[in-house]
Amino acid sequence: MKFAVIVFPGSNCDSDMFFAIQDALQEEVEYVRYDETSLEGFDGVLLPGGFSYGDYLRSGAIACFAPIMEAVKQFAIDGKPVLGVCNGFQMLLELGLLPGAMKRNDGLKFICRPVDLVVENNQTMFTSSYEKGEVISVPVAHGEGNYECDEATLATLEENNQVVFRYKEAINGSKANIAGITNEQGNVLGMMPHPERAVEKLLGSADGLRLFQSIVRNWRESHVTTS
């Protein structure tokens, strides 16, 4: 499986993502610059964390208009896996590929530490290697991770099982403690915690690795047939 890590001016978790895929997951991965226009030949897209365009205006807002984003949108529409982490999640919200918006953390502080997440839905291409209800440890690092949406949107998210990860404890004011959601089709996942920073014990946790393994496993099941 071949992954694209999209690099924007201001991305700072692109290398973490790249090496998580290359070294820990041992799959193919390439950087794709924000000013390119094609994602041909890729099977999965990763929008990394960081401060695209310096977070000027709003987190993720300006990145939506980068040339590569039309291809990312099409990739998502085609049902292929798109994962946005932290700033990448903010981009997916700004792009309208996921519902809702991000506000400053309730306590107004930048939070940077491992947190416990509850796997709410393990029936997605991103979470099938976890148990439902399993508690995993993945670090967060964000100042604007306070997920906001209206009540109707929240009801839809809950009904469709689109809430994939929830914080075990309220850390930033997010509605319903939401840490990660998918789109209705289930092929786009946005999450504030950083699974790419939890891919080996040395980093404090390897719980994030199974997210990437899930993607690969599900991709193989639908793409590789044995004769």
Partner 1 sequence: MYKVKVYVTLRESVLDPQGGAVKRALHTMNYSEVEEVRIGKYMELTLTNTDDVEKRIDEMCSKLLANTVIEDYRYEIEEVVPS
Binding residues (CB under 8 A) for partner 1: these are 57-58, 61-62, 65, 93-94, 99-101, 103-108, 146, 148-150, 173
Contact yes or no for 21/65 (Cβ under 8 A) = no
Residue 196 annotated as catalytic = yes
Token look-up 């977070």 returns 55
Smallest separation (angstroms) from partner 1 to the CB of 226: 46
Residue 86 annotated as catalytic = yes
**By C-beta, is 8 or 212 nearer to partner 1?**
8
Smallest separation (angstroms) from partner 1 to the CB of 163: 17
Determine the Cα–Cα distance for residues 193 and 97; give it in Å rounded to an integer: 19
| Alpha helix ranges (H) inside the chain | 14-19, 69-77, 87-95, 151-159, 209-223
Contact yes or no for 165/120 (Cβ under 8 A) = yes
Smallest separation (angstroms) from partner 1 to the CB of 58: 6
Which listed residue (27, 86, 142, 144) is catalytic?
A: 86
For residue 147, give the 3-state DSSP assignment. Answer: strand
**By C-beta, is 58 or 217 nearer to partner 1?**
58
Give the burial class of 49: count Cβ atoms within 10 A of its Cβ; 0-12 exposed, 13-18 middle, 19 or more buried.
buried
Smallest separation (angstroms) from partner 1 to the CB of 183: 15
**By C-beta, is 60 or 114 nearer to partner 1?**
60
**By C-beta, is 4 or 179 nearer to partner 1?**
179
- Please list the active-site residues: 86, 194, 196
